[in-house]
Structure formats: structure tokens, C-alpha cells
Amino acid sequence: MTYAGVLQRYRSLLDIPAHTVAITLLEGNTPLIPLPRLADALGGGFDLFAKFEGLNPTGSFKDRGMTVAIGEAVGRGVKTVICASTGNTAASAAAYAARAGLRCIVLIPQGKVAAGKLAGAVAYGAQVIQVDGSFDDALALVVEITQKQPIALVNSLNPYRLEGQKTAAFEICDTLDSAPDLFCLPVGNAGNITAYWMGFRQYNDLHASGLPRILGVQAVGAAPLVLGHPVEHPETVATAIRIGKPARGEQALQAAEESGGKIIAVSDEDILAMQRTLASEGLWVEPASAAGLAGLAAEVRAGKLNPRGLRVVGVCTGHGLKDPGIITQSMPAPVVLPAEIEALEDAILV
Ligand code: AN7
């Protein structure tokens, strides 16, 4: 059968209203890419894979949930959708709203959204509003306006977003023939960790596929779930997860605990180092997307986790192309040469 997106592929497993229509860009069906060199660098003797969600149509995992949220909104006659976003949700909402012919409004924290995400939201024709505040401030605003106006909220507070996002857990189990032993991912607003845990449990109930231990990873400067209280002024180079009051924080903590895992925080340095490590193995991901595997590496190197004999999956949630600016800041700039063969030889022959 021709692939037609996550809604068509897994519809019978999704708890969504019958009026939900298919608004798809053929999201999902992303590869599970082996990372043998990173596994070796962490001591070897285990299988490590990246679920590369940056290969979705708008470059992040958000598309899995957005196809369902927008399809549900269209099915009940909604004309306008809104979200707050650190960037990827905005680009995804804008694309799926465009596909459906809906008006889309996105609120983003001023100056804190990576270039590729802002450009995407603009390109797909959303009304982009920068808020002089944080993501958390923007989320409070969109929640309030959707209580007053006939506008649909497509943040992950919308339960249909999670129904779509849980398909990534199904795909991992389908590809590996069962759940991995250990599973790590970045945590921001905590929708994705909640969705994965729903998905793994549902597949286990249906197919006895087993359950992974979940390692959720925040950035040190934006780690409310590790600290146990909201962070008023979250700061991290991983702007996608620069979130101080996660909407689904309780569910995230529950997912980690029920699975026998935990939520930890890693430094910006560790996140950028893992971004470089993944790039050196051929995967360019945005900084937030490296956080999950950075957390795994930190746990293994600290001797808190022994991955030997395990099957481990890390989610790389968004593509490196989303945030080109960070590379020009963290890596040396390319040299400029005169267009002369001698200069080229001097530069490359050692
Ligand atoms: C690349 O786009 O919150 O824990 O507004 O873009 O489900 O929030 C993005 C989050 C991880 C965290 N990786 O997922 C938004 C937004 C990337 C992300 C997360 C985000 P959640």
C-alpha cells in the first residue's frame, strides 16, 4: 500500500473523533539509524539507534501531531488555529494549516527562535507574532484567547497532538519487532515524552512488545522537572526546549517513573558536543535534538548506566538545518582564499 502518513497508517489505534479528516504531508515513517561509532565511544557491546525525526516534512517530530490536530480542527469546521512555540510547532502548524486552507497564528518568544523555524512559519504564510516574553508567557496567552474566541489551540495541550505523536513509538516497535530496552529523548513542554509513553504502553498491551526505560533530558538552564519547580527565566542554547513551565510536566514525571527511568539535565556544552558527535557520524540535528543522546552519554560516562547488551534508541527530534546560526557560532568560519591554485594548495595540502 502506498504510504499516506501517520493518520492513515495507524488510525485504528488513535483515540480521535470520527470527524477527523486526513490533512497530510506524508509525515512519519522516519528512519531508525544505527550509531555504531557513538555506541563504541560509550564502551560498545550494545545497539544504539537514532530515530531521526528531523526528516519529517517540516523538519521535526511536530508534524506527527499536527496532521491529527489540524485534521480534527478542519473536521469540526474550525477556520483559525493558534499556537505558542519555541519554533518547530509554529513551522509545523503553519504548514498543515496552509495545506488545509486555515488561518494560522503563531506566538513566539522574541529573538529566541532559530532562523529556520521562523523562516518556515513565515514561508507557510502564518501570522507570526513575537512576544516580549518567554514561551511560557506566549502559551498562557494562546490558552486564554482560545477560551474566549472560536480559535483552535494546536499546542500539545490539544490531546490529538499526542495521539499523532505516539505513532513514533509504534514505528520504533514495528522496526525493531519489539520496544527498545532504553529510550532517551529531549524534554521541553513534555508533550512528546507523554505521547511516547502512551504509544509504548498501547503497543505492549496489543502486541506484548515490552516497555523501555525512559530517560528524559532537559537543559541545565531550563530544567523545571529536575529541579521540581518552574523556572522563571529559562536559558539554554537549545532554544527548542527553553521552557520553564512544562504543560505536561506531571505526566512526564509519571512516564519516567512508571518506566523505571528518570529525567535528568545536561549542560549546554554537553548538548553542543553531542551535536558535533552526531554530525561526525553523518546526522546533523538541531541542539535540542542532541540532548537525549547527550543525557545517555553523560549517564554512561558517570557510571550511572551500563548499556551493555541493551538495545537503545535516542530520538533526534529536529533537523540541524533549523538552526544554522548555532553552527556559525560554535564552529570556525570557513576561510576565504583568492581564486588561485597556489592558495588552494597551501590551504589543503599538508
Ligand atoms: C526539536 O516547537 O515546544 O517536550 O514550541 O522543537 O514535547 O515540548 C518544541 C519542542 C524537543 C521538546 N526537540 O518536546 C515548540 C516546542 C525539539 C523541539 C522538543 C521540542 P516537548
CA 350 to ligand 1 center in whole angstroms: 43
Which of 194, 317, 322, 323 has most ligand 1 atoms within 8 Å of CB, for mutation? 317
Count H helices, E strands: the chain?
A: 15, 10
Residue 173 and residue 91: Cα distance in Å, rounded?
Answer: 28
Whole-angstrom distance, CA of residue 261 vs CA of residue 323: 30
Report the DSSP beta bridge partners of residue 82: 105, 153
Q: How far from 165 is each of 14, 200, 221, 228, 323, CA to CA, in Å?
A: 10, 11, 26, 26, 22
Ligand 1 centroid, distance to 174 Cα (angstroms):
24
Residues, the chain, total?
350
* Residue 143 CB neighbours (<10 A): 15
> What does the block give as the cell for 332?
570556525
Residue closest to 319 by CA, chosen among 52, 99, 104, 85:
52
Dist. CA 179 → ligand 1 center (Å): 23
CA quadruple 217, 319, 117, 65: dihedral sign: negative
Helix (H, G, I), strand (E, B) or coil at 60: strand
Integer CA distances (angstroms), 113 to 27, 91, 239, in order: 23, 11, 6
Q: Which atom of ligand 1 is nearest to the CA of 286?
A: 1
pTM: 0.97
**234 vs 31: CA distance, rounded Å:** 32
What separation in angstroms does the CA of 66 have from each of 57, 145, 190, 341? 11, 20, 16, 51
Give pLDDT tens digits for 9-34: 999 999 999 999 999 999 999 999 99
Sheet strand arrangement including 80-84: 127-131, 103-109, 80-84, 152-153
Query: Which atom from ligand 1 is nearest to the alpha carbon of 252?
Result: 4
322 Cα nearest atom in ligand 1: 1
Predicted pLDDT of residue 11: 97
Q: What percent of the chain has pLDDT over 90?
A: 98
Residue 185: strand, helix, or coil: strand
Please state the φ and ψ torsions of residue 186, each to the nearest 5 degrees: -75, 150
Separation of CA 326 and ligand 1 centre (Å)? 17
Average pLDDT over residues 185-214: 98
Place of cell 514561551: 135
User: Percent of the chain having pLDDT more than 70?
Assistant: 100
In the reported structure, the alpha carbon of residue 334 is separated from the centroid of ligand 1 by a whole-number distance in angstroms of 31
Looking at the predicted structure, is the pLDDT value of residue 306 above 80? yes
The Cα 2–Cα 20 span in angstroms is 21
**pLDDT beyond 90 at 1:** no
* Nearest-atom index, ligand 1, CA of 187: 4
